[in-house]
Amino acid sequence: MPAADEALLPLCIALALVGVVVTVVAFVRGRRARALQGLALALAPVALYLTGLLRLVWDAVVAVVRWATGNVFDLGAWIGFGLLALCVVLWVVGGVLARRTRRRTKAAAVESREQGRAVGTGVAPARQPAGRTTAKAAAKPGRGTAAPAEDDDMAEIEALLKSRGIQ
């Protein structure tokens, strides 16, 4: 049995006993569901030890600690951490700028559509199929014929239909 296993088994048993004590206290206080969850957590270290996963976690923690202590006074490592931080900042700023650019492009498209509308009416210009013409379009102002006078109610209805895109 390696030295790490000799240290891990008593640690697992101690954690399991502390978990069982907390579970019993929760059970006595009437918190049955929390007691059940506590029992599950109390058994977890022993289960990890028996499956060999605790040794894996232990080795990973030891490797991270060795790596960290070896890099604390290493100038190259700190330059690398600085570059990593710069990468994160640039990534975040790029995302913010991309969102702003999309918003500005969208706003410019809406503004150009708004400029295409008739001035002061708030109604979009009518879109007609190529072969159709209305009575207003058929009347040519240069020939001296005036457009027929429209009923006020009909004008309101027409404006409402045009504002909804219905013709």
45-92 confidence digits (pLDDT tens): 899 999 989 889 889 999 999 988 887 778 888 899 999 999 999 999
Closest by CA to 39, choosing from 11, 20, 52, 21, is 20
Share of the chain above pLDDT 90, in %: 26
- pLDDT computed for residue 118 by the predictor: 47
pTM for the model = 0.41
Neighbouring CB atoms inside 10 A of 49's CB total 20
User: Residue 151 carries which DSSP code?
Assistant: P
Query: 81-113: buried (b, 16+ CB within 10 Å) or exposed (e) per residue?
Result: eeeeeeeeeeeeeeeeeeeeeeeeeeeeeeeee
Q: Model confidence over 20-57: pLDDT tens digits? A: 999 999 999 988 898 999 999 899 989 999 998 988 98
Q: Tell me the domain boundaries of the chain.
A: 9-73, 75-114
Q: What pLDDT is recorded for position 125? A: 52
Count CB-CB contacts under 10 A for residue 78. Answer: 12
CA angle 139, 140, 142 (to 5 degrees): 150
Q: Are 35 and 27 in contact (CB under 8 A)?
A: yes
pLDDT at 126: 53
